[in-house]
Structure 1
Amino acid sequence: MTNKLILIDGNSIAYRAFFALPLLNNDKGVYTNAIYGFTNMLLKILDTEKPTHMLVAFDAGKTTFRHKTYQEYKGGRQKTPPELSEQFPLLRELLDAFSIPHYELNQYEADDIIGTLAKQGEEKEWEVNVISGDKDLLQLVSERVTVSLTKKGLSDIDAYTPSFLLEKMEVKPDQIIDMKALMGDSSDNIPGVPGIGQKTAVKLLKQYETLDNLYDHLDEISGKKLKEKLENHKQDAYMSKELATISCNSPLEIGLENLPFQGYEAHKVSALFKELGFQSLLSRIEGDEAGEAETNEALPEFDFSILEEISDDLFTGEEAMVVEMLQDNYHTAPIEGFGIVNSGQNYFVPTEIAVNSSAFKQWAEDPAMKKYVFDAKKTTVALLNKGIDVKGIEFDFLLASYLINPSENHHDIPAICHRMGEKGVLYDEEVYGKGAKLKLPEQDQLAEHVTRKTAMIYRLKDSIEQQLKENQQYELFRELEMPLAIILGEMEHTGVRVDVKRLEEMGAELQRRLKEIEEQVFELAGEEFNLNSPKQLGPILFEKLGLPVIKKTKTGYSTSADILEQLQDQHEIIPKLLLYRQLGKLQSTYIEGLLKVVHQDNHKIHTRFNQALTQTGRLSSTDPNLQNIPIRLEEGRKIREAFTASKEDWIVFAADYSQIELRVLAHIANDEKLIEAFNENKDIHTQTAMEVFHVAEDEITPNMRRQAKAVNFGIVYGISDYGLSQSLGITRKEAKKFIDRYLDTYLGVRDYMEEIVQEAKQAGYVSTIMNRRRYLPDITSRNFNKRSFAERTAMNTPIQGSAADIIKLAMINLHHKLKEEQVEARMLLQVHDELILEAPGTELDKLKSIVPMVMEGAIELNVPLKVDYAYGKTWYDAK
C-alpha cells in the first residue's frame, strides 16, 4: 500500500477558519471559531483521505531568513486579532488530542517545513497532499504532490495537480515562482515588477518559459513601457523570486519517520470537544466516546454493610451521605441507593428501604444531624421528590472542589479524590460503563462503589475545608455557595408553570406565519421551492434573481445566515428568508423543545441550575436552558407569555440589576468619572459618548450612544479593536481610536486594567469581591497568545465574578427576608442579573418594597446598585 502524507498549513487554515466563521466562544469565554472551523476540516480530511502520515506546520514567528534579503518582507500586514492569537495554543492541544504531529522551526515559515517534507515524500514515491489557503504552495505541485487550496471559506477546495494548474492558471508548477517574481504579492509585501499583473506575467512566461530566459531576450520585448519596467526593476524581480521560493531543504529536526498517523483515541478528543463546547462534533468521532478507562491498581480492602432495615441508633449526628443517581437529569432519574458513612461503619441502603423508613426520614429532616454530601442541590431535589425535606447539610464536596479548582472540568468524587492522591475508589465509568453501555452492576458491586465514594467524603472533608481556609474562601463556601445550593434545590423542585395550551397556540401561530412568509417568498421568486434547501435556494437567488455571489461551496452557492445578512439591502426576498429561518428556529428549538420537557402531572418545567460550572461563578441553566430564551424578536419574547404563576390570582414578579457589571467596574477601578456618573444617576452610555466624542448631551446621536454602549460593555469583557470593529461594523483603526479615547477618559479603568494584570502575575490568580478565585497559569507564559488570553481574563473575571457573587448574595438575603415576612412569595428563576418570583396578587405591594430593598442592599459599593422591577400574569408581562 502506498503511504499517504497529508501536510496542513496550520496558520493559513486557522486564518481562513477565523474569518469564515462568526466569533464563537465557549462557556469559559474562550474564543473557538478558528478551532471549530479547523476541526471540521480536519475531521473531513481524516474521513476522506485516510492518511498514513500527517503533519500540521506552523509559522514560528514574525522574523524569517527572508527578512535578511528584504527587511520589508510581509511588512504592512495587519496585526493578528487577539481573538485569533489566543486560539493557537488550543489548536495545538487539539492536534495533540488527535495524536497528529505539529512542528514549527525558528527563522522558517510553515511553507518551508511543508516544502521540505513534501519533497522527501515525493522522493520516496509517496502520495502527498498539501492543504492550505496560500497560492505560494502551488510551486510544490507535481505528479506525486497535490496542493489543495481553500477558496473563500473552508468547505470549497480546489485540488491542484499539474494538469489542473495549467488549465486554471495557464502555468506549470515550476513557473509559479517566476510568475510571483514578475507580479509580486501584496499580501507578503513582495514588490515584483511594478505595473505587471498576473495576466501580463502569464503571457510573458508562456512566451519565454522562465525569468532567466525572459531577461536573456529582453531586447525582443514589444512595448516600450513594459520593456522599461522590466529593465528598471530587474533587481526587484530576482529578489522577489528569492523571497517567493519555498525552501525545500530546511534544517528540520524531524523527518517522515516522525509523522506516522495511526488514528486517535476517541475519549481524548471527546473530552477536549466537551471542554471547547463542540457538542455538535461529538457524533463525528469514531469509536467509543468513553474510550478505554485506565485500569486502577487493586483497591485497598474495604468493609461495608448492605442494610435491610434502618434503626434509630444507626446515626451518630455526623454522617457523609451520597444519593447515587446514574443520569444527569436528577429530576427524573431514579435513585439507585444511598451511601451513609460515619465514624463507626460504611453502609449502603437500597432506595426503597431508605425512603420508606421513618428513622431515615427523621434523621434526614433533623437540622441538628450534620450531613456531608456530594452536590447539596441534587441531594435536596432528589429527597424532596421522595417527600423528604433534608436539613442539616453542612458540607458539599462538589462545591468545595469547584471553589478550589474552578478551571477543572471534572468534579465527580473519584476525580477529586485522584487529584488529592487518593486511589481507593474507581471512576464511575469503570463501574457503570458510559453512553449506550451504561448499566447497573450487581448489588454488591454497586453497594461497594457507592460506600467507597461516601467514605472518601467523610475522610477528606477536613483537609478540603482547611484548603478553603488557607485560600480565604471558607466564608465564600459557607456563607454564599452552601446556602445558595439549598435555595436553588428548592427552586428547581418548585419548577415554573407553563401554559401548554398557550405554547401550542404560539406553535400554530408560528406555523401560520411561516406559511405566509413562504408564500411571499414564492411570489417574489416567481416559483415554488423548498426554502430549507440551499441547493434549491441558491440558484433562485444567484441565477434567477441575479444577486451577487459571495461564496460558493462544493455543492453550489452558500446561503448561510451571514451571507444572507450581507445581501439584506439587495432584494426584499432576503429579509423574508432571514425572518423565516429565525421563526423556524423558535418553532423547533423553543416551542417544540419546551413542550417536550413539560411535566404532564403538574404542567411545570424543572430546569437545572449549574452552580459548579463557570469559572466566573455565574449560574447557568440546562434541561432546558431558561436563561437563553431569545428576546430580540417579538415572537421570541412572546414565548415568555407561556410561563405563568402556578396558582390563580398569583402574579409573576421580575426584578433585575441595572448595569451591574459597569457599576462593579466603577467600584473596583475606583474611577472618578464612572462613580460620579452613577452617583448622579446619569445615563452612562450617553455620558461616555459625551466624554469620548467631546460633544454636549444634546448633540449625541443614537449611533454615538450605541458605539459608547458597545465600548462600555466591551471593556468589561476585555474587547479588542478587532472585536469592537466586528460588533460596530467599523474599521479596526477606528475601533482602536475609540478604545484609546475611552481609556484616556476613564483613567481609573485604564489603571485598573494595568494593575490587575500585574497583581495576577504576582499571585497567579485574580479574585472577586467575595474572594472567588480564578487561577491564571498562563499569565507569565512566554507564549504571547496564551499570555494575552490570561491578561484579558484577569481584567474581566473580577468584574463578572463579583456581579455573580452579588446576585447570589441577594438571592440568599431575599430567601431569608421572604421567610421572615411570612409571605407565600417564592423565587422561581435566576436569569443572569434578573430574579423571577411568583406570589399572590395580595402580596404585590410587599414585593415592590422588599425585593428592590434587598437586592440593592446586598452589598455596599462606592456607587449605588439599582434594581428595576415589573410584574404581571406571565413572565412576558413582567418586563
Structure 2
Amino acid sequence: ITNIDDLKLYFKELTKQKLISLDLETDSVSPMQTTLVGMSFSTAKDEGAYIPIQYGDKSKNNFGKDDLKKVLELAKPILENPEIKKTGQNIKFDALVMKNHGVNVEGIEFDTMLAAHLIKPEGRSYKMDNLSLEYLNYHREPIEELIGKGKNQITMSDVELEKASFYAAEDADIVLQLTKIFQEKLDEVKLTKFYNTVEIPLIPVLVSMEYDGVYVDKKQLLDKSVEFGKKLDGLSADILKHAGTEFNINSTQQLANILFDNLGLPQIKKRSTAEDVLERLREEHPLPGLILKYRKLNKLKNTYLDSIPQHIHPVTKRIHSSFSQTVAATGRLSSSNPNFQNIPIRTEEGREIRKAFVAQEKNNIIFSADYSQIELRVMAHLSGDKGLQTAFANGEDIHARTASDIYGVPIDDVLPEMRRVAKIVNFGIMYGAGPFRMSQELGIPRAESQLIIDRYFERFAGIRDYIDATITKAESDQYVETMLGRRRPVWNINSSNHMHREAAKRMAINMPIQGTAAEMIKLAMIHIHKLMKNEKMKSKLVLQIHDELLFEVP
C-alpha cells in the first residue's frame, strides 16, 4: 500500500474485523531503540498487506509530509481498540515497539510463539521459519536472504520495496494460519484456559515492565568494579603464592597441572577443576578455596558490574531488560540483555550489586516483595504432607523444623550446622536428589546421606508418597503438569539407560513444583498490574526476579 487513499480504505476494512494478525518490520531487534520500517496485517488465509514507511528504493513520501506520523495516526485507533483482537509472533516485541512510538496495543488475543512453546515446551526453536515448516509444511524464505549476514548485513529499511512487501505480508499471513492451527492444538491438550488466563494476560504486564525499565546507579557499579578489581588482584597474588609458580588462573588446563601434578591433590573426576571438585579439594589445600573465591568475584565483576552499565538506554537512562515466556520449559520467566535473574542475592557480593538498583526520581523508593520459601510451600500443598503444612501454618523456621525432625532434637537445640544440612536436604528432595547426590552436596558418606533421607521420609511420609505417585503417573502419562495444567514431557522416564531415567525422574519431581511457583508469581503480576492501572497509581513494576517483584514507588 503506497498511497493515502488505499491506506485509509484498508484501515477502514480492518475496523470491521474480529481478529487481525500484526507484524512489524524494524531496523533492529532492540524494541526500545528501533525504528519502525513498516507494518503488515492479514485478515484471511493467503492474504496480507504491507504498509511501508522506509525502504531502499524510496524516492518520495507516500502518505503526506511524514509517512511515519501519518501511518501511526491512522493505525492508532485500530491498535488501541480492545474489540479488534490481535495475534502475532512474539507480539510482545511489536507491542513494545508501538508503545515506544506512542501507541498502546490493546486486545492481544494470541501469540503463536507462546502457543508453540506451551504445546511443545522441549522445542528447539520457535522461530517463524521453523513453525511454518513444521505446521504448515511451507518453507519460508529466511530473513538472511533479504538482509544478508555478518559484516555485509543491511537492515529492513534498506531492502527494496517489492522484496520487503512480499516478505512482510507473508509473515502476517503465516501468523494468521498458525493461529488457527495452534488454537485447535491448545484445545487438544486442554491448555486453552491456562493460555488465556496466565500467558496471554501476562504480555501487557511484561510490555509495561520492559518499557518502564529499571534504574541503576552507574557510579555505584563502576566504584564496585574498581573495588572488586583490587580484591581480585589480592586473590591472584595469594593464588600464585600457594601455587608456587606463575600460571594463567583462568586456564583450567594449567590449573589442573598445578593441582594434580605439582601439588599432588587427588583426582576426583579425572582432571576436572569444576566447582564441585574444588569444593571437595578445599579440605586438602588452601588453593582450591582461593580459586573458588576468585572465580565467583571474577564472574560478578565481568557479568554484572562491567556489563550492566553498557545496557543503559541513552535517552531514558534506564535498563530495559527483555523477559521471555518461551525459554524455560517449567514456565519460569527468563531475562536477557542483561540477564537480571542470575544475580546471586544470597551472597554479600551479590547484595552489593543489588544496592545499585535505586529509584530514578528523587522522592521515589524501590520496594521489594517476595514469596517466602515458595517452592517448599508448593511442595507442602501438592504433597498434602501434614507435618510440612503444620510447620508452615505455625510460622516455624522450616529448615530448623526439618533439622529437629531428622536429628531428633528439640527445635531450640538445633545447631547452625544441623540447619545447614536440613536446608540442603529440603531443597535436594524437592529437586529429586538421591543418596549419591546428597552425599556429594553434604560432603558425607553415601550410607550416612541415605540414613538422613530415610529419616526425612519417615517424618514427612506425605512427601515420599507424593514423589512415588508423581513418578508412577509420569511413567504412564509420559508427562508431568503443574497445578494449573502446564505440561512438560518426560520422554526418558522409562529409558533403559539408568542416567537418562534418573534425570527424567528428577525433572518429573521438580517441574510441577517449580512450574506452579512460576504460575503464582505470574498471576500476582497480572493482578497487581491491573490494580495499579485501575487505580491510576504512579507506582511501577520494574523487575521480576523469580520469586521477587521490584517496584519503584513514590
Q: How much has 1:686 moved relative to structure 2?
A: 1.8
Q: Find out whether 1:751 has 2:465 as its counterpart.
A: yes
Corresponding residue of 1:320: 21
Q: Find out whether 1:392 has 2:89 as its counterpart.
A: no
Q: Find out whether 1:446 has 2:164 as its counterpart.
A: yes
Q: Find out whether 1:381 has 2:96 as its counterpart.
A: yes
Aligned alpha-carbon RMSD (Å):
3.3
The counterpart of 1:764, out of the listed 463, 478, 489, is: 478
Cα distance in 2, alignment partners of residues 539 and 374 from structure 1: 51
Q: Which deviates further from its counterpart, 814-823 or 782-791?
A: 782-791
* 2:196 alignment partner, SS class: helix
Q: How much has 1:838 moved relative to structure 2?
A: 0.7
Letter in 1 for 2:385: D
Q: How much has 1:427 moved relative to structure 2?
A: 4.3
Q: How much has 1:835 moved relative to structure 2?
A: 0.6
Aligned partners of 2:340 and 2:545 also within 8 Å: yes
Structure-to-structure mapping, 1:334-349, within 5 angstroms: 334-343=35-44, 345-349=47-51
Corresponding residue of 2:511: 797
Corresponding residue of 1:364: 79
Corresponding residue of 2:217: 499
Q: How much has 1:551 moved relative to structure 2?
A: 5.7
Q: 1:605 to 1:738 in 2, by over 3 A?
A: same
Cα distance in 2, alignment partners of residues 589 and 379 from structure 1: 29
Q: How much has 1:580 moved relative to structure 2?
A: 3.9
Aligned partners of 1:692 and 1:741 also within 8 Å: yes
Q: How much has 1:402 moved relative to structure 2?
A: 1.5
Structure-to-structure mapping, 1:455-604, within 5 angstroms: 455-518=173-236, 547-550=263-266, 565-566=279-280, 568=282, 575-576=289-290, 578-604=292-318
Q: 1:330 to 1:725 in 2, by over 3 A?
A: farther
How many residue pairs end up in the alignment? 532
Relative to the length of structure 1, the TM-score reads: 0.56
Letter in 1 for 2:78: W
Q: Find out whether 1:839 has 2:538 as its counterpart.
A: no
Cα distance in 1, alignment partners of residues 306 and 458 from structure 2: 50
Q: 1:725 to 1:767 in 2, by over 3 A?
A: same
Cα distance in 1, alignment partners of residues 489 and 278 from structure 2: 42
Aligned partners of 2:471 and 2:505 also within 8 Å: yes
Q: How much has 1:347 moved relative to structure 2?
A: 0.6
Letter in 2 for 1:492: E
Letter in 1 for 2:52: P
Q: Which deviates further from its counterpart, 559-568 or 806-815?
A: 559-568
Relative to the length of structure 2, the TM-score reads: 0.86
Aligned partners of 1:534 and 1:559 also within 8 Å: yes
Aligned partners of 1:417 and 1:456 also within 8 Å: yes
* 1:604 alignment partner, SS class: coil
Q: Structure 2: which 5+ runs fail to align?
A: 55-66
Q: 1:778 to 1:600 in 2, by over 3 A?
A: same
Q: Pick 1 or 2: higher relative contact order, CA cutoff 8 A, min separation 6.
A: 2
Cα distance in 1, alignment partners of residues 131 and 458 from structure 2: 46
Cα distance in 1, alignment partners of residues 221 and 546 from structure 2: 24
State the percentage of identical aligned residues. Answer: 36
Q: 1:307 to 1:679 in 2, by over 3 A?
A: farther
Q: 1:527 to 1:759 in 2, by over 3 A?
A: closer
Q: 1:342 to 1:675 in 2, by over 3 A?
A: same
Letter in 2 for 1:717: Y
Aligned partners of 1:761 and 1:779 also within 8 Å: yes
Q: 1:517 to 1:817 in 2, by over 3 A?
A: same
Corresponding residue of 1:733: 447
Q: How much has 1:621 moved relative to structure 2?
A: 0.9
Q: How much has 1:512 moved relative to structure 2?
A: 3.2
Aligned partners of 1:529 and 1:536 also within 8 Å: yes
Structure-to-structure mapping, 1:100-179, within 5 angstroms: none
Cα distance in 2, alignment partners of residues 484 and 817 from structure 1: 14
Task: Describe the superposition over 1:531-559 as per-residue Cα deviations: whole angstroms up to 9, x where unpaired.
Answer: 6678998999899xx84444699xxx997
Cα distance in 2, alignment partners of residues 684 and 709 from structure 1: 8
Aligned partners of 1:307 and 1:350 also within 8 Å: no
Q: How much has 1:614 moved relative to structure 2?
A: 1.1
Aligned partners of 2:280 and 2:443 also within 8 Å: no
Letter in 1 for 2:472: Q
Cα distance in 1, alignment partners of residues 255 and 75 from structure 2: 64
The counterpart of 2:116, out of the listed 383, 401, 406, is: 401
Cα distance in 1, alignment partners of residues 376 and 193 from structure 2: 25
Q: 1:327 to 1:741 in 2, by over 3 A?
A: farther
Cα distance in 1, alignment partners of residues 385 and 292 from structure 2: 43
Aligned partners of 1:689 and 1:704 also within 8 Å: yes
Q: Structure 1: which 5+ runs fail to align?
A: 1-304, 841-879
* 1:394 alignment partner, SS class: strand
Cα distance in 2, alignment partners of residues 672 and 447 from structure 1: 63
Q: 1:767 to 1:521 in 2, by over 3 A?
A: closer
Q: How much has 1:401 moved relative to structure 2?
A: 1.6
